[in-house]
Each structure stands twice: as C-alpha cells, then as structure tokens.
Structure 1
Amino acid sequence: MSFSDSNSGSPDLTLFKKGDEHTFELIFDKYYERLVGFCNQFISDLDKSKSLAQQAFIKLWMNRDKIEQINGITAFLYTAAKTECLNFLRQEKYRYTYQNNALQNREKLFNQEVLESFRFDRLEYQELEEMIQSALDKLPEKCRQVFLKSRFEYKKNHEIAEELGIALKTVEGNITRALKFLRKELQDILPLVMWMF
C-alpha cells in the first residue's frame, strides 16, 4: 500500500497546519474508511478498528505542525494506525496472559481451600478410615466386592466382570448402587469421600 497521494483534490496543508477544522474534516472524510479497513486487517474487529483509526486522526491533529508536505498526512495516518494496532495487540496479549495467570492462581487457591477444608481438626484420619470401612461393610457382599475392585484395585469394569464371572451391566449396577449408598451413609463427609473415590 502506497503512502503517497497524487490526487488533485488534496487538502490545503497550510490551512491544516494552522488548525483549520474544515480542512481536517476533509482529511478525515478522505481517509477514515481506508484507515478502518487497514486496521481491520490487523485486528479483525470492526468496532475496535474504527476506534483505533480515530486515535490515529487524533494523533495527526495533535502533531499537525510537524507535517512538512501533503503526502506526509497519508504516511502519518497509516504509521499512527499501525502503531495503535500493534499497541492494542500487545495489550490484548498481556491481558490474556494476565487473565490466564489469574485463572491459574484462582484454581490453585481453590485447590488449597479444598485441601484446607479436608484438614482433620475434628476428625482424625483413622476415624475417617473407620467410618468409610464401616459403610463399606454394610454393602451386600457382591456389591462391596465389585466396588473395592473398581475403586481400590483400579480395575476396569470389563476386567471385574471377567474375574467375577458376571455381566458387565451387573458390575456397572453394583458400582452405581454402592456410590448411592455411600453418598447417603457418609453425607457428613461427602465431599472428601467423593474426592477419594
């Protein structure tokens, strides 16, 4: 894209440098849509591209006394727009990194709070084990056997079915039944129990 402008209808540079608002409006009308399209190639967000293009025009107005020739208006606008786009992209990258780090920190904090909530000030670990074991002992033998192999021996359902000589659906049903029973039996310490299982 060329920054030169050979159109015969170019705005009066002298008037512009003196702060003539009408001349500035002519420049704005001439280049605004082009500048928005240019920004949108970087940003792919039309509303933001319009905002960045406007920022480029503000910079042009504030630095109008530094423009030495009429072609310099075009060059200044595109350079300013490019700078605005790059700054925006850097900010977005920083914001994404910040948000991502903040999310990770919140997750760490949440995990820490969960662990803190599991500190056994009122319930010693041995007591906890006894409560769980007591609940497991109340399960029907086959149900308990299936559940222990699933949750404590880490065996897959089809492995349990083959080992015990029962149907896969029977294994799944027993695990579901055991979990339902344990949720009810150990409801006072349910979050920890579910986390362990």
Structure 2
Amino acid sequence: MLAPTNETFYNVALLFMKEQLEPDDLLAFTQGKEEGFIAVYKLYYQEIRYFTFKMLGSKEESEDITTEIFLKLFKIHERFTTQVNIKAFLYASAKNSCIDHIRKVKRRKTIKKDFSDTSTGEFANEIEDVTVEHAIIETVMIKEIYEAVEGLPDKCRQIFKMLYYEGLKPDVIAHQLSITPETVRSQKRHALELLRVRLSDNQMALAVILTLSLLECGQYLNAADTFA
C-alpha cells in the first residue's frame, strides 16, 4: 500500500469520500487495466481540475496541470490499493504542482530579486495554510451543489440556472419561456426546497443555497461550470 502523501491530504480524502469506486474498478486500476483508469478519471478529473482552477485562476493552466497529475497517477498505479490513497495523492500532487507553477510565474515576473530558499518555503506554507484549505472546502461544496442542481427536474433546473447562473429577472425568464412570472417564482421555490433536501447532509453547501444573494450564488455556480 502507498503511504499517505501527507497526513493533511489523507485526512481530507478520508473525510470527503461520498463517491465510491466499485471494487472491480479499483482492482482493475491497480492492475493497470484501461477500465480501471477510466473509472478513476471519470470520478476525480473534474474535481481536481476545479481545485487547481481555484489555486491558479486559469482554466487552461488547470487543465494542463490536472492532465499531468493523472498521467503521474497512472504511471504508478500499482502502488495504490485503496481509494483514499488515490484521492490523497491527487490532491497532494495538485497542490504541489500549483505551487511549482506559481513559483515559476513569480520568478518570471521578478526582475530585481530572486526567491531564496527561505522565502520559497514561507510562500509554500502560506499556500498550504490558506489557499489550499479554502480551495478544498470550496471544491467539495461546489461539486455537491452542482450535482444537486443537475439533479433537479428539467424545467426547474432550467429556471434555476437562468436565475442564478445567468442572473436574469423573473419577468425576463417568463417572457423567454412564455410562462408567467408567478410560474418562475414557483419553480424557484420548488428548486430551493429540493436543494435543501438533497444538501441536508452538507451543512456548508446548504448554507450557501439558503443564504446567498443572487450575485454571490451566480459567482459560485458559474465557477461550477468547470465540472461540466
């Protein structure tokens, strides 16, 4: 068994393990079979890509780094025997890759001074203590909200997205869909009630749904397009 990359990421992986690989898929992965790779990729690619996006702020760079991380994972597939260690490795590798990338960008932009070993270490600690923690929490929260929204009934989901993704007013939506504004408001209430139920086991995600303003909710959910 591969030892946890570090305690922090192992504990994160253990805490957020709602998604489960089928035993056959995990075995196939450890044996280097294509179906095992595909299963792990489908389960975690969007999650890790969103995490790196929150660290870097660039979808293009996050896609490149995430792809490299999965290539590394697949090359050492035989070292993994548990799903927890797979997820811990992905998050730890993502964090390290993002820090390396940010350092390179900062070096290119720095003309008058270079990073000493000490400053580099301080920078890494700052990223680990603040940015990484927030990015992990938001990744888990947004993934659950996104999946809950995608699970709404068709019309309900369409109206919810027009309200919160696009920021449209009920009257505008009613005109576009040839329905009444009251129908729009009714579908909105129905969507929020369904989301309350579906997110009841994630208090942070539930708090976002219950308390966010239109602008704030749009900011979060537009970011969730990374999962699409």
**Shorter-chain TM-score category?**
0.3 to 0.5
TM-score by length of 1: 0.46
TM-score by length of 2: 0.40
Rg bigger for which structure? 1
Higher RCO, 1 vs 2 (CA within 8 Å, ≥6 residues apart):
2
